[in-house]
Homo-oligomer: A and B are copies of this chain.
């Protein structure tokens, strides 16, 4: 299997052949994580409905939850205006983050912003 020519033509891949993937919890709309996809990862995500990404550190396809069980059932995939990012809505089983938190943005602190009055 491979991506349809129509879809492939819409993608604007970076120098490494990747597009960004923003992953949102379908139930809560929380942003769960940011990851990367090559063509195979996107095609696999669309055909299996399992969130599947490209691991830049391991240089291999990575089915989210394959080891941890924290899989993602994909409900919807949208592509952005310039074709370099996709937005996934998923049913997330367990925590999305490898650190065990619900999202990858659940650090203990927020970055310091200027006062509202500033």
Contacts and interface: CB of A to CB of B under 8 A. Distances in A.
Contacts of A105: 78-81, 87
The number of chain A residues touching the other chain, given as a range, is 35 or more
B111 A46 contact: yes
A29 B22 CA distance: 13
Contacts of A113: 46, 49, 74, 76-77
Q: How many copies does the complex hold?
A: 2
A68 interface: no
A63 interface: no
19 contacts: A24-B31, A29-B29, A31-B87, A46-B111, A46-B112, A47-B114, A47-B118, A49-B114, A49-B116, A77-B110, A77-B113, A78-B105, A78-B107, A78-B111, A79-B107, A80-B107, A81-B105, A85-B104, A87-B105
Interface of A: 7, 20, 22, 24, 29-31, 33-34, 46-49, 74, 76-82, 84-87, 97-99, 101, 104-107, 110-114, 116, 118
Question: Which 4 A-B residue pairings sit nearest by Cβ, starting from the closest?
Answer: A29-B29, A77-B111, A80-B104, A78-B105
